[in-house]
Amino acid sequence: MTQINVRVDGASYVDDVEPRTLLVHYLREQLGKVGTVVGCDTSNCGACTVHLDGQAVKSCTVLAVQADGCQVTTIEGIAGSEPGAALHPVQRAFHEMHGLQCGFCTPGMIMASIDLLKENPDPSDDEVREGIEGNLCRCTGYQNIVRAVRHAAAEMRGDAADDPEASPAEVDTAASEHVVEPVAVQA
């Protein structure tokens, strides 16, 4: 066992871990941070993305011992910590723009998007797609994810009202093509 000293979502932890323990398993199993999920065993999906000293990393590709002395932020640490605290603008945008269906990829998508917007506060659609290319979604077709990220970007720049791309009225609601129109019943 190796002792690590790590700060996660603003709290300090001193823990003994196996040298082979992955950061994602340490977060989920020892700290109970189950908002960070495991979506693959090939380091491809990005569902496990967290911030390590401010940089987005796939936490299934990092050993817990490599986080010794570091700051880790998970999806559980980006909103205010007090009960009822406001969501992070990127969380809010995913909600408002229907940027998810099953939601499994969403924690990683949001963490990757926050990192992207830190580097590029006004990304184009293509730049958003490139920025989140390490994160896979099996459900949405990405359209509303891209809109959500651009909507969040506009809000974080302070000009959300001028972002016609991100008008909620234009959102493709994922379920809409599956909705069966009610049949008029003859009296």
- Does 100 participate in binding ligand FES (rule CB under 6 A)? yes
* Residue choice 11, 34, 86, 102 for contact with ligand FES (CB under 6 A): 102
Cα separation, 64 vs 68, in Å, equals: 7
User: Is 104 within 8 Å of 36 (Cβ atoms)?
Assistant: no
Residue ranges in the chain assigned as alpha helix (H): 23-25, 89-96, 106-119, 125-131, 143-157
- Does 39 participate in binding ligand FES (rule CB under 6 A)? yes
Q: Which of residues 2-31 bind ligand FES (CB under 6 A)?
A: none
Nearer to ligand FES, 38 or 87 (CB): 38
Q: C-alpha angle with apex 166: 162 to 170, nearest 5 degrees?
A: 120
Q: How far is the CB of 162 from ligand FES (least distance, A)?
A: 28
* Residue choice 137, 149, 152, 154 for contact with ligand FES (CB under 6 A): 137
Both tokens assigned to 174: 């994922």
Part in contact with ligand FES (CB under 6 A); list of ranges 9-17, 83-91, 102-110, 119-127: 102-110
User: Is 62 within 8 Å of 23 (Cβ atoms)?
Assistant: yes
Part in contact with ligand FES (CB under 6 A); list of ranges 41-49, 64-72, 82-90, 155-163: 41-49
73: helix, strand or coil = strand
Q: How far is the CB of 161 from ligand FES (least distance, A)?
A: 28
User: Is 94 within 8 Å of 117 (Cβ atoms)?
Assistant: no
Question: What residue ranges bind ligand FES (CB under 6 A)?
Answer: 38-40, 43-48, 58, 60, 100-105, 137-140
